[in-house]
Structure 1
Amino acid sequence: MNLRRFGIYCGIAAPLIWLSLISLAGAMRPEFSHSYQYISELGERGSSTEIPMRYIGFEFAGVLYVCFATALPASLREGWRSALVAVFIGLDGLGRVGAGVFACDPGCDGLSSSQELHRLFATTGFSSAILAAIACGIVFRGHAWLGILSVYSIGSGILAAIFLLLMTWDTNPIQTPGLFEHLATGVLSLWLLVFAARLSRAST
């Protein structure tokens, strides 16, 4: 297996591992609410799910995102357009790694430096993932075999952004921030999985 195909397979595996760890860690903590609590709380310092969520869910999956990003220029061969999408996906991966290295405080509402860095990296990851989906839809809309994903990619990025805005809206009448975060990461994870799977089929 060459490095390009390995990178594409990393893009398929990364969102599957991420979503699986959210489900697994949530199942390990019956008191955890996916509707009211943030995903980061599954990896908070001192929790029973800190180790698997931080080191597999955030860091390992994040490395896989970076590996996928490095394979994009050689897979797409579209010059700056490939590089643009690759940069955003790579920043998403680095944001995930950083969010794993710097765990949030219990409840993710502390004031420690680790908490602040966790928030910074998580925000970077989410923002980059949204930009990656939108950029992919725009720059590849006329591509021979990626154009079919154009509307889906842009829609995924916009929908995820809306969910994150609802998550942070203090006066939102639906006070379920965890639910909106889960929906946002679900939409973006599914988009990356579809994107990587499309690349895998086209590369056979």
Structure 2
Amino acid sequence: MNLSRSGICCGIAAPVIWLSLIGLAGAMRPEFSHSYQYISELGERGSVTEIPMRYIGFGFAGFLYLCFALALPATLCEGWRAALLATLIGLDGIGRIGAGVFACDPGCDGLSSSQELHRLFAMTGFSAAILAALACGIIFRRHPWLSILSIYSIGSGLLATTLLLLMTWEANPIQTPGLFEHLATGVLSIWTLVFAVCLLRGSALSDE
């Protein structure tokens, strides 16, 4: 398996590991509410799920996103378009790694520098992932492999944006911020998985 295809496989593994860690860490903490609590609280300082969530969920999965990003230019051969998409997915990976390095305070409502840096990196990762989905849908709408994903990619980016806005809307009558965050990361994770699978299939066809 060449390096490019290995990088694409990282793009398949990364969202699976991320979503699996959320489910596993949540199961390890029966008191945790996926509807009312943020994902970051699974990696908060002092919790029983801090180590697996910080270093596997955020750190290792973020590293796999970086590997996926590095494989995109050689896989797509689309010049600046591939470079732009790779940069955005790479920023998503960096955001995840940074969010793992700087854990949030208990309850994720503290004022420590670690808490602020965690929030910054998490925001960077979410924003980059949304922009990656939107960019993929717009700039690759005529690509032989990816045109079929155009509407899906744009829809995923817009849906994730809407969910994050609902999460932060203080006047939202549905006071379940954790649920909106979980749904947003689920939408973006599934998009990454579908995108990587399409790339792997397209790459295999081009090698025949």
Q: TM-score, normalised by structure 1?
A: 1.00
Structure 1 runs, 4 residues or longer, greater than 6 Å off: none
- State the SS of the aligned residue for 1:78: coil
How many angstroms apart in 1 are the aligned matches of 2:50 and 2:37?
A: 15
Could you tell me how far apart the structure 2 residues matched to 1:145 and 1:71 are?
Answer: 16
Partner residue, 2:161: 161
Hey, what does 1:16 align to over in structure 2?
Answer: 16
Other structure's SS at 2:25 match: helix
Aligned position for 1:202: 202
Q: Distance in 1 between matches of 2:144 and 2:22?
A: 35
Quote the offset at 1:203 in angstroms. 1.1
Unpaired segments ≥5 residues, structure 1 = none
Q: Distance in 1 between matches of 2:105 and 2:163?
A: 24
Q: Distance in 1 between matches of 2:83 and 2:169?
A: 33
Which residue of structure 2 lines up, in the alignment, with residue 39 of structure 1? 39
Q: Partner residue of 2:125?
A: 125
Task: Give 1:191's aligned amino acid.
Answer: W
Give the equivalent residue in structure 1 for 2:172. Answer: 172
Cα displacement (A) at 1:78: 0.4
For 2:94, the equivalent position in structure 1 comes to 94
Gaps of 5+ in 2: none
Task: Please report the RMSD computed on the Cα atoms of aligned residues, expressed in angstroms.
Answer: 0.3
Q: Distance in 2 between matches of 1:54 and 1:67?
A: 19
Letter in 2 for 1:196: A
User: How far did 1:197 drift?
Assistant: 0.2
CA deviation after TM superposition for structure 1 residue 145, in Å? 1.4
Q: CA deviation at 1:66?
A: 0.3
Identity of aligned residues (%): 81
Distance in 2 (CA, whole Å) between partners of 1:21 and 1:90 is 20
Q: What residue is the counterpart of 1:30 in the other structure?
A: 30
**How far off is 1:194 after superposition?**
0.1
Q: Give me the whole-angstrom Cα distance separating, in 2, the residues matched to 1:145 and 1:122.
A: 30
Whole-Å separation in 2 of the counterparts to 1:146 and 1:128: 19
